[in-house]
Structure 1
Amino acid sequence: MGQTLKEKYSSVFTEIMKLSKAAAKIDETKVYEEANLETRKYMYKLLDDNFKPDSGLGNIENFKAFYDAVTKEGKSGLILMEHYTNLDLPAILYLLEKEGEPWAKDFASRIVAVAGMKLNEASPAVRAFTEGFTRVVIYPTRSLNALEAKQVSEEELKEEEQRARKINFAAMRAMDGCKKRGQVILVFPSGTRYRPGKPETKRGLREIDSYLRLFDCMILVSINGNALRINPESPDDMLSDICEQDTVTLTASPVINCKEFRNEVLAKVPADDPDPKQKTIDKVMAVLEEMHNKYEK
């Protein structure tokens, strides 16, 4: 078994924490965070160590077609990607830059990830680990639901609900600004990393339906290979994840028209279905699973 992140890279975390600038507490004024390129250098070193040389992008022509749709046709672009590890976001930027083509490097520079506020607020080390990449920070529904389960006081819950509304409203405005600047929004539709043996962690969030309404086109990206395994002894401690060298491949679907995709799914949903929005994201997850299985072989 490999070493944990904190064991193998303790000195790296010491260095990037010195360079950290990101907010330790998120509010509606701090939802858009530009990448800290000084910390990104350390993240790329971690990928150099753990991604085998044959790692790369699958269906590179689909990445290029999506890039052209955004930069040449002026379309708003969305990436929906599988989520297995905290290296998934660094991986797509790293592998695009490794392509060596000017368009691929520019594509990487345009990616803005939607990230839960936990990555900022969990710990200084996790925050430093994350901030090498441009993000729009949201208050996930899952976090609010978890708070309700803790049976906090009604006053505390109302306060957090108000905070969540303010943060998420500001996040939507920030994403609108990204679209106008020609940036690309990347979302992990499951909202969390997949945990083996827990299929619910691979279920798509119904909120993703709103992204399909707001963007013109998208690509779906599957991930095969895993250089950072969740530690079964401490699955919620991101710094306890286990490093394992592996070949990692990110594969893109053809460019998809978001409106057409959504309408096609909804056209098959019965009129009395209690949750049609969930059906659209269920279809996204089904396509990602099909891609993952195809390229795993």
Structure 2
Amino acid sequence: MEINTIRSMYGPYFKQLAGNSVAAAKIDATNVYQPANEKNRVLIDKLVSDNILPESHIGAEENFLDFYNQIKEGKSGLILMEHYANTDLPALMYMLEHNGKEELADLSKRIVAIAGMKLNEDDPIVRAFAESFTRVVIYPTRSLDKAAQNVSEEEAKEEEMKARKINLAAMHAMDDCKRRGEVILVFPSGTRYRPGHPETKRGLREIDSYLRLFDIAILVSINGSILQIQDGKEDMLSDIVCKDKMIFTASPVIQCKQFRKDYLATLPADDPDPKQKVIDRVMQILEEQHDEVEKTRL
């Protein structure tokens, strides 16, 4: 039985994506903010529109609208979203834009995703795919740990310095985004969830710092996916394309600093890692929200 992968179904688009690509193949402190490539966005929207079923929709729309209105009033906003497939962000953006409400279409234009360097550096087609959306690129801790393996101490220190420069520039870029009224979207797990591998759904400790930097947040769960990861294959272009009903649901708006304060107050004073516990609580809320929606989705 033939498997419908992105490569087999949308191969003809790859040449167009690559031809339109303008994003940097190497990331440094000078190019961490990367605006959307609208030519490629049109092609990625085609992938989404071909495969999301008509009953797909935005859930808890009132929470998205409340979030948007507070952003318009000048608050800095953060979206923490589940991550199952490389079409999670494209599908969210598409559905917000085509929801029928001007406010949600405008919200989609304000979203800036945090992306790891490998989306730019590992493969030219993946880079062309990723650059369809505005991003701030970071050097993830996981990538640094991997890069530091099997190299000399001097090389490891050089790589650490590179990571610091890139991530400091990314922090400045996020500050600029906040001043422009843009919204930062982060996948708190830092990677796509793989069934049977619960560690891929664990929130990263570093996400606690985002909660300290923003005024408000919404937690967005994702039910349904138009891409599925093939077992044992990390290559994005080997992902299986499938039609599905997708629902993006937002939690009520969270006041970030108060949320942290209230939850930290429930922990023992001698807790060895309160920052991890905070993000564990975020992931728990997301999972509970996901499970509630899934009861009614199918």
**TM-score for the superposition, normalised by structure 2:** 0.97
Q: CA deviation at 1:153?
A: 1.6
- Counterpart in the other structure of 1:192: 191
In the alignment, does 2:121 pair up with 1:145?
Answer: no
Q: Is the 2:88–2:225 contact (alpha carbons within 8 Å) kept by the matching residues of 1?
A: no
Counterpart amino acid of residue 218 in structure 2: I
The CA RMSD over aligned residues, in Å, is 0.9
Distance of 1:263 and 1:175 partners within structure 2: 23
Q: Is the 1:79–1:218 contact (alpha carbons within 8 Å) kept by the matching residues of 2?
A: yes
Moved over 6 A (4+): none
- Counterpart in the other structure of 1:275: 273
Q: Is the 2:82–2:222 contact (alpha carbons within 8 Å) kept by the matching residues of 1?
A: yes
Distance of 2:98 and 2:3 partners within structure 1: 25
DSSP 3-state at the match of 1:245 = coil
Distance of 2:220 and 2:132 partners within structure 1: 21
Q: CA deviation at 1:13?
A: 1.1
- Range with bigger deviation, 263-272 or 59-68: 263-272
Q: Deviations over 1:139-176 (max 9, x none)?
A: 0001011223x321212211110110000000000000
Q: Is the 1:2–1:244 contact (alpha carbons within 8 Å) kept by the matching residues of 2?
A: no
Q: Is the 2:25–2:124 contact (alpha carbons within 8 Å) kept by the matching residues of 1?
A: yes
Partner residue of 2:237 out of 211, 236, 239: 239
Distance of 1:228 and 1:220 partners within structure 2: 21
Distance of 1:207 and 1:273 partners within structure 2: 17
Identity %, equivalent residues: 62
- Counterpart in the other structure of 1:79: 79
1:78-157 to structure 2, matched below 5 A, reads 78-148=78-148, 150-157=149-156
Q: CA deviation at 1:100?
A: 2.2
Distance of 2:91 and 2:171 partners within structure 1: 25
Q: Is the 2:56–2:246 contact (alpha carbons within 8 Å) kept by the matching residues of 1?
A: yes
Counterpart amino acid of residue 62 in structure 1: N
Q: CA deviation at 1:2?
A: 4.1
Distance of 2:255 and 2:265 partners within structure 1: 15
1:60-75 to structure 2, matched below 5 A, reads 60-71=61-72, 73-75=73-75
Distance of 2:280 and 2:100 partners within structure 1: 35
Distance of 1:122 and 1:238 partners within structure 2: 11
Counterpart amino acid of residue 130 in structure 1: A
Distance of 1:281 and 1:107 partners within structure 2: 25
Q: What 5-or-longer segments of structure 2 have no aligned partner?
A: none
> Structure 1 232/96 Cα, relative in aligned 2: closer, same or farther at 3 Å?
same
- Counterpart in the other structure of 1:170: 169
DSSP 3-state at the match of 1:78 = strand
Q: Is the 2:77–2:184 contact (alpha carbons within 8 Å) kept by the matching residues of 1?
A: yes
Q: Deviations over 1:208-240 (max 9, x none)?
A: 000000000000000000110001141x11111
In the alignment, does 2:221 pair up with 1:222?
Answer: yes
Q: CA deviation at 1:269?
A: 1.3
Distance of 1:121 and 1:213 partners within structure 2: 30
Q: Is the 1:39–1:129 contact (alpha carbons within 8 Å) kept by the matching residues of 2?
A: yes
Q: CA deviation at 1:54?
A: 1.0
Q: CA deviation at 1:27?
A: 0.2
Q: Is the 1:219–1:255 contact (alpha carbons within 8 Å) kept by the matching residues of 2?
A: yes
Q: Is the 1:52–1:245 contact (alpha carbons within 8 Å) kept by the matching residues of 2?
A: yes
Distance of 2:283 and 2:256 partners within structure 1: 15
In the alignment, does 2:21 pair up with 1:23?
Answer: no
